Chain A
Amino acid sequence: MDATRHPGQHPSRLSAPPAAPPRRFRRLRGLALLLLATAFALGGGFLALQMGARRAQRPTITETVAVPGDPKGIDAMLAALDKEVRALQAQNRRLEDRLARLRPKGIYIVIDTGADHLFVMQDDKVLRDAICSTGSGVRLADPNTPRSWIFDTPRGELTVRGKTTDPIWVKPDWAFIETGENIPHGLDDRMEEGVLGDYALDLGQGYLIHGTLFERALGLHVTHGCVRMGAKDLEFIFHTVKPGTKVYIV
């Protein structure tokens, strides 16, 4: 009988050290740990990215405002803020009124040079939406002098200065240079009838709203800066607007 053995003790636990797990099992355990660590790293990275993305969507900048620590100070601050807000509201109302006074009213024309459309407006209502042609944006240089022209339609607020029926085109220098002709000296050689349609509205600085012989080119950027219209639309515009009417070209 073994004297060192305690009652109930298993003989194998006493006699031999615990057996090391087999190599195969150790390898599996290592692999599992590696997989776990990788999963943790990937999950953490994913979470950080998500947090970052969410944070990037939020405004990251905040404005810090110091608030007094006692209730009296807060009340004083509230009263001051209330006063400032009221003053700003009144100031903004005045600014809005001033802007409103500048906005077009009554009958006016809007020309969209991007879409080549002309709108006859009455306040915010569209009376006529017409297709037109505006400036080509092409540059023309005079081969004999340093002069050059860019055929853009002018922008901003213009005014209808006058209206004419059966307008005659007084051809400017560029019209001759463009076609390779000599520039005439006399006014008679510059006159050309029947090319501007039945009506013309003068916008100043040589720019007109007029008709065209080539209605099929309406909607294209083909002009030297004038605004060309179809005959029916031109007639409507001619009879609707008066000298002094504002024209907004954008």
Chain B
Amino acid sequence: MFDWTLVKKLVFAAALAAGPAASAPALLAGAESPLNRVRALVEEKRRLEWENATMTKELAFASTTAPYVFADLRQRTFEFRVRGKVHKVYKAVAIEIHGDGDRTISEAALHALAPNPLDVVDRAGGPLELKPPPVTAPDPNGSDFTGPDPNSGPVHSDAGILGVDAPTSYDVTLQGGILLEIRTALVTSRWDRIRDSFADAARAVAETWREWTGGSRPALKAIQGAAVRVIVDEETAKAFYHSILPGEHVYFLPPPPPPVKLVASLSPPPAARK
């Protein structure tokens, strides 16, 4: 009598072995139409190329002992890294990108404007203020205070008495005319936002019209400078001020690759040419 159970077991074992062996691209493509497989593979290739470029860039930074900042404007994060490891992250409440005349510009326009990474050139935003210690500090006359009276000597910046408080509204100047404007409140007025949203809608309508009519995309206007306005809470603004120093590299993470649109090629495929 033929043992079907054994055959079933063998088939199952073969399927289990074949599963992991199947390549990721093949899995991605699935059993869909060839065009869908092409699209999936092209998108996967673009994503891998994007990852590759980012890691290659990071490897160059991580090969040195210097710290660097990865700025992801879509996620609104600033990651402080050394040797390929994220040691701290600041998250902004909002990020706006402004070009000439304080008009909102796209992230692509910002990337086109300057090389990446950008070094911090300057950090300015008013004089540092002297700040008394918190009221919860040990009482100099109390039993938990073991040191000499810090108020007896001359008061200067490092008498161990007064801390230095950082500003909460300041500008970090980067190479290529790019400013990081650190603010604790949105400075764009309601009318500016309405104007920008109307402009966005008009651009979108024009884009749709161009798509329908097959018109060409207009070239990006040359922008002289840009400001990345970063809205954070007060504590983050102060901590960020102390964290970022002139000379540090800021790498603006490029936008991920766009979706792929397939079009039929008019020319015959290479194999068919004679």
Q: Which residues of A contact B258 (CB under 8 A)?
A: 59, 61-63
**Which residue of A55, A63, A74, A137 is within 8 Å of B207 (Cβ)?**
A55
Question: Which of chain B's residues has its CB closest to A91's CB?
Answer: B52
> B2-10, B11-19, B38-46, B110-118: which lies at the A interface?
B38-46
Inter-chain contact total with CB atoms closer than 8 Å? 249
Q: Which residues of B contact A32 (CB under 8 A)?
A: none
Known contacts A62-B259, A86-B23, A221-B166; is A71 also within 8 Å of B34 by CB? yes
Interface size on B, residues (CB 8 A): 92
Question: Which of chain B's residues has its CB closest to A74's CB?
Answer: B34
Within the complex, what minimum Cβ distance (angstroms) separates B158 from chain A?
Answer: 6
| A156-B262 in contact (CB<8A) | no
- Per-residue 0/1 for B230-274: is the Cβ within 8 Å of any A Cβ (1 yes, 0 no)? 000000001111110100100000000111111111001111100
Known contacts A51-B204, A74-B35, A95-B52; is A103 also within 8 Å of B84 by CB? yes
Q: Which of A76-98 contact B (CB under 8 A)?
A: 76-78, 81-82, 84-86, 88-89, 91-92, 95-96, 98
Residues of chain A touching chain B, judged by Cβ–Cβ distance below 8 Å, are 48-49, 51-53, 55-56, 59-78, 81-82, 84-86, 88-89, 91-92, 95-96, 98-100, 102-104, 110, 112-115, 134, 136-138, 140, 151-152, 155-158, 178-180, 212-217, 219-224, 248-250
Can you list 26 A-B contacts with CB-CB less than 8 angstroms, sorted by A residue number?
A49-B197, A55-B207, A56-B204, A59-B259, A62-B260, A66-B264, A71-B34, A74-B35, A78-B37, A81-B38, A82-B23, A85-B45, A92-B48, A92-B52, A95-B55, A99-B84, A102-B84, A104-B85, A137-B128, A137-B164, A140-B157, A155-B245, A213-B148, A220-B133, A248-B67, A248-B85
Residues of chain B touching chain A, judged by Cβ–Cβ distance below 8 Å, are 23-26, 29, 34-35, 37-39, 41-42, 44-46, 48-49, 51-52, 55-56, 58-59, 62-67, 80-85, 87-88, 90, 108, 128, 131, 133-134, 137-138, 145-148, 150, 154, 156-158, 160-164, 166, 197-198, 200-205, 207-208, 238-243, 245, 248, 257-265, 268-272
